[in-house]
Amino acid sequence: MMIGRYFKTNKGDYMKQFWAPWRMEYILGDKPDGCFLCDIIADDKDRDNLLLKRGVACAVVMNRYPYNGGHLMVLPFRHVAELGDLTSEEKLEVLNLIDESITVLKKVIYPAGFNVGANLGKVAGAGLEDHLHMHIVPRWDGDTNFMPVLSDTRVVPVALLDLWDLLKPVFE
């Protein structure tokens, strides 16, 4: 069974394309109007939405298309695009929730380190430019294994809802 193929990149080298057919539901599905982060905040189905914690003005959500297992996002409830648009209280809560998220991830999945930051603007990699969110990406020694090095393919070894079930009680 073929699960991928090679294609030539714009640099002239070859990269393996890994088939992920479960993403077709998202790719072909209707895109809701508005902001999916605002929709998550407004909804009460936290597990379905991968929402782990609601603070006073901000929340912690699992990234549905993670860079690594345990990739979380911290975001304000308000639909704002820039760090400067946050109130002082929101800025403090974002930092506190980042700190809490790192503590929870250390207890549950034992990463060796973290990348923390934001993609501000489309050219910086923001898939959603209009609703500010901070990324927390757990990292492990050797997590750049043979898959990304040799075949430009990342492996996320944990199911999202299984990980949500492990993380949620620790946030509470």
Mean pLDDT of the 105-120 span: 93
Evaluate whether residue 12 is within a structural domain: no
Q: Provide the CATH number for the domain around residue 81.
A: 3.30.428.10
Total domain count, the chain: 1
Task: Evaluate whether 98 touches 138 at the Cβ level (below 8 Å).
Answer: no
Evaluate whether residue 167 is within a structural domain: yes
pLDDT of residue 7: 47
With 80 as the cut, is the pLDDT of residue 37 above it?
yes
Q: Return all residues near 30 (Cβ < 8 A) that are at least 6 apart.
A: none
Mean pLDDT of the 17-44 span: 73
Evaluate whether residue 25 is within a structural domain: no
Q: CA-CA distance, 28 to 49, in Å (whole number)? A: 19
Q: CA-CA distance, 96 to 112, in Å (whole number)? A: 20
Range of the domain at 41: 34-171
pLDDT of residue 168: 93
Average pLDDT, the chain: 81
Q: Return all residues near 36 (Cβ < 8 A) that are at least 6 apart.
A: 128
Q: Return all residues near 19 (Cβ < 8 A) that are at least 6 apart.
A: 2, 3, 4
With 90 as the cut, is the pLDDT of residue 69 above it?
no
With 60 as the cut, is the pLDDT of residue 15 above it?
no
pLDDT of residue 118: 92
Evaluate whether residue 23 is within a structural domain: no
pLDDT of residue 92: 98
Tell me, yes or no, if 79 is annotated catalytic: no
With 50 as the cut, is the pLDDT of residue 2 above it?
no
Task: Specify the 3-state DSSP secondary structure of 42.
Answer: helix
pLDDT of residue 96: 98
Evaluate whether residue 88 is within a structural domain: yes
Amino acid at 100: E
With 70 as the cut, is the pLDDT of residue 171 above it?
yes
Q: Please pick, among 71, 131, 133, 135, the residue that the annotation labels catalytic.
A: 133
